[in-house]
Amino acid sequence: MKFFVDSADVAAIRELNDLGMVDGVTTNPSLILKSGRDIVEVTKEICDMVSGPVSAEVVATEAKAMIAEGLKLAKIAPNIAVKVPLTWDGLSACKALAGEGHRVNVTLCFSAAQAILAAKAGASFISPFIGRIDDNHYDGIELIEDIRIIYDNYDFKTEILAASIRSVNHIIDCARIGADVVTAPPAVIKAMASHVLTDRGLELFLKDWAKTGQKIV
């Protein structure tokens, strides 16, 4: 499974990248706002740091304008994946951009039917929003499973990029089902290392070590 960091916080991305935990990055208008930086400037810095795909999102809602914005974003760096919404205009933009050799991440997916259309339109990634689906009293993980089955049935090359990850359990469930990628906030990825029994075990070892009166260095 590949880990993408869902953030435009350069320092947080760098920390994870230095540990080899970053296969790509996803950004969106809300994350750019949170960063307080110019979209081109911060995206370029992230692209220079991370070797994998970096998703940069268009904000237009009409296909022609999406394509124009997508082409501009794609010029930031070779590893840009243009992010478009899963609307009919977004699918048209996806088809056009993919046809010119650009990677496209189709976002805001909430159904298997939408995921099929994105794959047919040539998307490199489909981003189902697990947390938001759960918020609306449906099962986000079940959607990932449905898309996995459908994509495997027809050998679609579009990668399932599970988004709106809220917890470590979301990541584990996605790994179990076979999502190709999860994109999660830095805090959720770091939380994967935490376990109460690890903490207790370390505490016990340190107490016993102190009793030996020894030092390693």
Reading the block at residue 191, the tokens are: 């939380």
One of 44, 64, 83, 120 is an active-site residue; which one?
83
Angle of the 140-154 helix axis to the 112-120 helix axis, nearest 10: 40
Q: How distant is the alpha carbon of residue 113 from its chain centre?
A: 21
DSSP class of 89? H
Task: For residue 72, indicate whether it is catalytic.
Answer: no
Region of 36 on the Ramachandran plot (φ > 0 left; ψ -120 to 50 alpha; else beta): left
Handedness of CA 26, 98, 87, 126 (dihedral sign): negative
Cα–Cα distance, 32 to 197 (Å, whole number) = 37
Active site amino acids: 83
